[in-house]
Structure 1
């Protein structure tokens, strides 16, 4: 397979002070290469420090530099808008706090318009009265809306800016790219002087983006602009083929491998054994041309549909981004001509297999396993990925005792495929490990806390071979009372560990751990700083309908008594 051509752009910029004593505009761009270009894209920004205030230049420069730096530090699994919003929120908080320190910095703020070009799409972030235009063919389109007060006497007064309020409200938009598109990011000193028609004529006539940016800024300055004049111009020269998240159709065109038997080969891989078979997927242990063992995951031949193929591609995409020792690693295989992906193989057994093999886990061993599980899960949550199926079957100890979290087949991420939702290959979650709020008519989406609940059930099971609320069968609608204290089955469990487990599997989310780090800290502190053992819930809290039942029963008894008294008279 030949390497896919990347996104290619041409870029130019110009920033002139004009008649002002100081240039309070600031602009910048980052044009990464390789994996960073594919994962995060190209970012260009224009900002205009709020005029009339000291430190306007500092506000615009700090915000642009901070966004250009910190955007690329956000997890690859985050959606573009989430990354931009997180960084801009932090920059806004810093500006507000800094402005409040001294009289000289009071009121420092900046407008901002930013564009991210990634794959075959663009993403905008905008606040204030800088603008982003797009020239496509003969048509110039303003892609942003000016944030100024509508009152005629206040039309030049900003209603929004970074640093203006404690919470910044940013406009976001996105769309498809076409080869030849030209984007112009300008300060109000440019667009306010030139107008849309002149901007279009300059963009059409310029030889290249640098020439266009220079002509925009100089034309505005020569035309009598009373403000700083800044322009960044980006032209789309070439678009990449559909990326992994955009080219599901191409992946689906790869044929599914037939059901394989030991000794058979596929794409230079020799099948060693069938490891696991689910309703939709197959896992084989295979050996590559160098003799190294790998795990091959594919779909069962009868599941050759577009949704299942998209789900497998999504799973591979997530697994590639979890580049952490707590997880198996995806192995590149350029010879792939069938629909599957490869992972690293690790000799050992799952915790479920150890349970079934008769291993009796001690309290100290379970606490140590818990810390390792939570460290792995914390790294996953930092990438905004929720596993959704933590259980002993998906936790593996290799021959050296290293723990790994398996199977991202039903994992969810807010950055998945630019927001595209995938139908899971297998059902998300295993009933006995699913939190109470995942059941019932008012269910919630799986989240960090439901993952942590599953960790609590897992540790409880390792110690007791039971479940805190009993085993839950598929399609069952369980009722949750209070969890059974694990000491009922294992009196040797220390009180501090029981308190941690009961908090982890509490019925109400507000009574549980909020983050993996909080859960981890409770395990690491152990008996030195034990948690308070949760008290048994009041009867009415365990059964909210109990009051109505008692009222109905009392009413019935009273009616019978009245009827009896009427009859005896």
Structure 2
């Protein structure tokens, strides 16, 4: 039942991962005293860059004894996990990828059970327990459902890392409370653990751990034998002790940990030459430069014509001042990597054709239109319905980022394009955080805060990692700005560097005597831009709904007093009244 693949495995069962991370593994399985082996286990090690992005995975499943088809379930669970996990997006986190795959497997197993004669007796259907450990960078990601177990041996102490999902009806009787294929929806335990040199992870089915005590296992792992031999010896020992079930054991040992892991683009940055300053009319790497669109201290942006396809594209090259900054160059290349992984009408796309390049630069689609900043200069007082239309399109673009475990982190008028047909597109991914890459501490390096301060969520100023709620905050500020021309907290957010200071931020209502904006719209914006991310909307769709449909909770709120809406007008009125009183007293 041993399933191992990938050129990273040598003849001694050692897996060599990039940048010195090395794992040794051993495994053994036996049907024991039963007629068939309903356990299944395996491991997979990809090659190339995928090894860094996705890691190495080991999985184990144990079919339920009461079922005559559970061996199909356990084999399907392990094989589909090891195949499908590595087919998920490179942008997704380990947790996102693994849980998506396991939920799909659970749905298939449950559906097979519902179509079989075991529909009303789930314990006889396509059911199995499941555990997996994914080693990525210097972290072990553990996923678990059922009663297979994952242990860690560290500094001579054996620790059980998983919790048995069993329901005890008496001291001697129990049944599974959770397993793949058991119910239509599955809850999967997840735990990330930082690795240490010499850590040993043990994965075992109940046929082993119920008859092999911790002391025996710890002693065996101190011996110089290879891990396959140790696994076999422990399985044999469990059998000798009276094991009656199938027996499977996997052992994975951390032989070496990585130092600084190469980013996805480090090799390109170190080997590909940087482009020169380009002039209109010049031919460059299969493109004809039409004109320079923008020059800054960070980059040069050109409109170009693809000579082969005759399509217009945008070429972005690093500015001279940035050519000695590897971190910036990596982020520049990351922008196109991101664009190729998001498919949305409201997100700028990478160039249609990808080909070898002689220089370091990026290519993206040409959007004939103008930025929202430029549009606002021509339409300084857009009506509410127009603002809704722009915000809804921008939100759809953000949703596409979030589905890919990405945060844009720099939503502002300059980073929204409105094309000739009125379609809004998000551009500039230089600040985007990619969950699957960020899991590697040594991934593409980014400063703590990259976005525009007026639109950045308050949590960024505390040094916290962003969330989809952070992009929601930026969208809320953008909406507020289009309706009022100002900002909900002025420029005060960037000055607050403690949670206490952020609690003292005062929201300025968007309502004014000059614009007819409903009070419930102001309440919607106030929630969207709340300094505490836990008090904002949990989903972008909720914000969009409340922006278009009055929330009953807000309809009962009265319009704020004029002192709050326009304090200058209030005090001018008070002064006028006082002056009238004084004049009346003098005249009388």
User: Structure 2 length normalisation: TM-score?
Assistant: 0.64
Cα 1:250–1:7 change in 2 (3 A) is: farther
Contact preservation (8 Å) 2:302, 2:314: yes
2:549 is paired with a residue whose SS is helix
Matches within 5 A, 1:210-249: 226-230=244-248, 245-249=263-267
In 1, the alpha carbon distance for the partners of 2:157 and 2:285 equals 47
In 2, the alpha carbon distance for the partners of 1:514 and 1:219 equals 52
Cα 1:450–1:247 change in 2 (3 A) is: closer
User: Is there any run of 5+ residues in structure 2 with no aligned partner, and where?
Assistant: 1-5, 14-25, 114-118, 164-171, 180-185, 253-259, 497-501, 562-588
Shift of 1:257: 1.7
Shift of 1:355: 1.1
In 2, the alpha carbon distance for the partners of 1:59 and 1:103 equals 15
Cα 1:467–1:410 change in 2 (3 A) is: same
Is it true that 1:435 corresponds to 2:449 in the alignment?
A: no
Matches within 5 A, 1:59-208: 60=74, 64=78, 67=81, 71=85, 75-84=89-98, 112-114=130-132, 116=134, 125=142, 163=178, 172=192, 187=205
Q: What are the Cα deviations for residues 349-392 of structure 1, in whole angstroms up to 9, with x where unaligned?
A: 11111112346422111111221111111121122211111111
Is it true that 1:322 corresponds to 2:342 in the alignment?
A: yes
Is it true that 1:485 corresponds to 2:498 in the alignment?
A: no
1:125 is paired with a residue whose SS is strand
Contact preservation (8 Å) 2:41, 2:60: yes
Shift of 1:173: 6.0
2:348 is paired with a residue whose SS is coil
Contact preservation (8 Å) 1:46, 1:185: yes
Matches within 5 A, 1:337-356: 337-356=358-377
Q: 2:31 aligns with which of 3, 14, 17?
A: 17
Cα 1:483–1:163 change in 2 (3 A) is: same
Shift of 1:56: 7.7
Q: What are the Cα deviations for residues 505-561 of structure 1, in whole angstroms up to 9, with x where unaligned?
A: 3455454322112112223x43597843766899xxxxxxxxxxxxxxxxxxxxxxx
Q: 2:293 aligns with which of 250, 275, 280?
A: 275
Is it true that 1:451 corresponds to 2:471 in the alignment?
A: yes
Cα 1:294–1:215 change in 2 (3 A) is: farther
2:410 is paired with a residue whose SS is coil
Q: What are the Cα deviations for residues 332-362 of structure 1, in whole angstroms up to 9, with x where unaligned?
A: 5433122221111111111111112346422
In 1, the alpha carbon distance for the partners of 2:318 and 2:103 equals 42
Cα 1:286–1:94 change in 2 (3 A) is: closer
1:457 is paired with a residue whose SS is helix
Q: 2:416 aligns with which of 395, 406, 415?
A: 395
Q: What residue in structure 2 maps to residue 380 of structure 1?
A: 401
Cα 1:130–1:514 change in 2 (3 A) is: closer
Question: What is the RMSD computed on CA atoms of the aligned residues?
Answer: 5.6
2:289 is paired with a residue whose SS is strand
In 2, the alpha carbon distance for the partners of 1:299 and 1:33 equals 31
User: Is there any run of 5+ residues in structure 1 with no aligned partner, and where?
Assistant: 1-5, 134-141, 150-156, 177-182, 206-212, 235-241, 539-569
Q: What residue in structure 1 maps to residue 167 of structure 2?
A: none
Q: 1:501 aligns with which of 499, 522, 525?
A: 525
Shift of 1:298: 2.6
Shift of 1:498: 3.9
Q: What residue in structure 2 maps to residue 532 of structure 1?
A: 555
Equivalent pairs, count = 492
Contact preservation (8 Å) 1:252, 1:310: no
2:290 is paired with a residue whose SS is strand
Q: What are the Cα deviations for residues 179-201 of structure 1, in whole angstroms up to 9, with x where unaligned?
A: xxxx997757579799869x997
In 2, the alpha carbon distance for the partners of 1:58 and 1:534 equals 59
Contact preservation (8 Å) 1:92, 1:168: no
Q: What residue in structure 1 maps to residue 305 of structure 2?
A: 287
2:509 is paired with a residue whose SS is coil
Shift of 1:468: 3.3
Contact preservation (8 Å) 1:131, 1:187: no
Shift of 1:425: 7.7
Q: What residue in structure 1 maps to residue 546 of structure 2?
A: 522
1:321 is paired with a residue whose SS is coil
Q: What residue in structure 2 maps to residue 137 of structure 1?
A: none
Cα 1:104–1:530 change in 2 (3 A) is: closer
Contact preservation (8 Å) 1:409, 1:424: no
Cα 1:299–1:427 change in 2 (3 A) is: farther
Contact preservation (8 Å) 1:274, 1:284: yes
User: Structure 1 length normalisation: TM-score?
Assistant: 0.66
Contact preservation (8 Å) 1:110, 1:163: no
Cα 1:188–1:446 change in 2 (3 A) is: closer
Contact preservation (8 Å) 1:112, 1:162: no
In 2, the alpha carbon distance for the partners of 1:488 and 1:443 equals 38
Cα 1:145–1:437 change in 2 (3 A) is: closer
Q: What residue in structure 1 maps to residue 62 of structure 2?
A: 48
In 2, the alpha carbon distance for the partners of 1:61 and 1:204 equals 21
In 2, the alpha carbon distance for the partners of 1:297 and 1:56 equals 55
In 2, the alpha carbon distance for the partners of 1:432 and 1:124 equals 37
Q: 1:307 aligns with which of 327, 342, 346?
A: 327
